Amino acid sequence: MSTLLDAWRHAPTQRKVWALAAPMILSNLSVPLVALVDSAVIGHLPHAHQLAAVAVGGSLYTLLTWASGFLRMGTTGFAAQAAGRSDGAALRQVLLQALLLGALLALLLIGLALPFAGAALDLMQPSAQLDELARSYLQIRLLGLPAALATYALVGWLLGTQNARGPLAILLTTNLLNVALDLLFVLGLHWGVAGAAWASVIAEWSGALLGLYLARRTLRNLSGRIDWPALGRWLSWRPLLAVNRDIFIRTLALQLVFFLLTVQGTRLGEATVAANALLLNGLLLTAHALDGLAHAVEALCGHALGARDRLALRRSLLVAGAWSLLASLGFALFFLLGGQLFIGLQTNIPSVRETAFVYLPYLALLPLLAVWSYLLDGLFIGATRAREMRDAMLLALLLTLPLAWALQPLGNHGLWLSFLAFMALRSLCLGGYAWQLHRRNLWLAPAAKDTAANLH
């Protein structure tokens, strides 16, 4: 307790945590704005298939960008450790490699996207008008994919250098410009669905260019130069690729859980699956907010590990952990006491609302169980220990599957109990790996430093 109080009373650590967390919370909460505005603007056009085309084409595009989200997380840890060592050369190398990896991945995904989208649309069997508009929307959006992936890398890198205002500026610029251009192109110039797509493309490239400018400005104050020959050596790429691979596998496992939750809920009826979707929106809201504190942990813990500062590592983790717990308690009370209002704002369909009200206590418990996995994810990302993150996620999934099968007779209650168990096991497994590393004194082991140094 005295250690926690010492950390809590340490004003410099409090300032550092919130200097990073507050902008990232604002950045994260701005993300859903674009989808809402797209729906609202296109929803005022005369035909339903126009709104459906944006929904279908947008979901296909989102799947491509989501699959590449590891670029952000994989870059943050290496950049934070390099910043902790005040290693300007390594920071340049990390940024260049992340941008090159994003560019190559964008080319690969663009090549795969069109046949993949064609197969997906064939399975959906849409009308001829919807099919044509959805394909057209996706083709335009693909022009912004290289910028979107570059932005992932730039946001991760800037966060690793403890610059949270940079990601905030990038995401707010991208999202607000998207909103303004949506209104201009769709409602002002009457470009329809294509206008919404072009608005997103221009906004994504604007965000990427702003990110490049901010990265260049950050590097002006750091000496060092890029090791160009190292780009041709496999050893210089292996640490970054290994971390990104493990984060990708971990993310796939997490998405599998949500997919299975949707599939099983669908079998229980339309009202049930709709109610579950509304309840999970509460989890997404919680995750977007608490991830801001997790991002602070990534940057501060990575910096402390790079500087081999055990005291700073402990203080950062304890302060961010305490604030995360308080925030999760706030969300739990909100869903417990105001959950009916939250559901009522999302739908006026009586059967869906009544079904959702029954399962609100599960939603109230979720923040208290999930918060620890968010916090520990931040620690492992900052330490570039993605393998442990991957293994913890896979272990939690494997332990939950037999429980979910056994609880099937309980219907949707069994489904929610299984989901809560998964979130709890995810936190426990991550905590177990963290404790093992602590006991073996591996958080600050020289090997961790040397692995990050292999990037240059």
> What does the pLDDT profile of the chain (456 residues) look like in tens digits?
677 788 888 889 899 889 888 888 877 776 655 655 665 676 666 665 676 677 677 767 877 777 787 888 889 888 988 888 888 888 999 999 999 999 999 999 999 888 877 777 776 666 777 778 888 888 999 999 999 999 999 999 999 898 888 988 998 899 889 889 988 998 888 888 889 889 999 999 999 999 999 999 988 887 888 878 877 787 788 888 888 899 889 988 887 887 777 777 767 876 787 788 788 878 888 888 888 889 889 888 888 888 888 899 999 999 999 999 999 999 999 999 999 998 887 777 788 889 989 999 999 999 999 999 999 999 999 888 989 999 999 999 999 999 999 999 999 999 999 999 999 999 999 999 999 999 988 887 543 344 444 444
Both tokens of 50, joined, read 């126009």
- Measured over the CA atoms of residue 108, residue 203, residue 153 and residue 26, the dihedral's sign is negative
Measured CA angle at 370 (ends 257, 149), to 5 deg: 65
3-state helix/strand/coil string of the chain? CHHHHHHHCCHHHHHHHHHHHHHHHHHHHHHHHHHHHHHHHHCCCCCHHHHHHHHHHHHHHHHHHHHCCHHHHHHHHHHHHHHHCCCHHHHHHHHHHHHHHHHHHHHHHHHHHHHHHHHHHHHHCCCHHHHHHHHHHHHHHHHHHHHHHHHHHHHHHHHHCCCCHHHHHHHHHHHHHHHHHHHHHHHHCCCHHHHHHHHHHHHHHHHHHHHHHHHHHHHCCCCCCCCHHHHHCHHHHHHHHHHHHHHHHHHHHHHHHHHHHHHHHHHCCHHHHHHHHHHHHHHHHHHHHHHHHHHHHHHHHHHHHHHCCHHHHHHHHHHHHHHHHHHHHHHHHHHHHHHHHHHHHHCCCHHHHHHHHHCHHHHHHHHHHHHHHHHHHHHHHHCCCHHHHHHHHHHHHHHHHHHHHHCHHHCHHHHHHHHHHHHHHHHHHHHHHHHHHHHCCCCCCHHHHHHHHCCC
How far is the C-alpha of 136 from the C-alpha of 119, rounded, in Å?
A: 15
Burial class (CB in 10 A: 0-12, 13-18, 19+), 409: exposed
Q: Rounded to an integer, what is the distance from CA 442 to the centroid of its chain?
A: 27
**Whole-angstrom Cα distance, residue 149 to residue 143?**
12
Confirm if 30 and 171 have CB atoms less than 8 A apart: yes
Provide the sign of the torsion angle of the four alpha carbons 165, 171, 174, 178, taken in this order.
Answer: negative
Judge whether 304 and 448 are in contact, CB under 8 Å. no
List C-alpha distances in Å: 231 to 297, 302, 454.
30, 24, 11
Q: Residue 281 — φ and ψ, nearest 5°?
A: -60, -30
pLDDT, one tens digit per residue, over 103-140 is 999 999 999 888 877 777 776 666 777 778 888 888 99
Selection from 443, 153, 159, 431 nearest residue 296 by Cα: 159
What pLDDT, in 10s, does the model give residues 234-255? 778 888 888 889 988 998 888 7
With beta carbons less than 8 A apart as the criterion, state whether 110 and 145 touch. yes
Structure tokens at 8: 């809590």
pTM, two decimal places: 0.77
Task: Look at the block and give the residue holding tokens 């944006």.
Answer: 54
Q: Give helix 88-124 / helix 48-67 axis angle, nearest 10°.
A: 140
Match 């006991």 to its residue by tokens: 439
Whose CA is closest to 291, among 8, 35, 15, 21? 21
Give Dmax over CA atoms of the chain in angstroms.
Answer: 67
Which tokens in the block code for residue 331?
């969300």
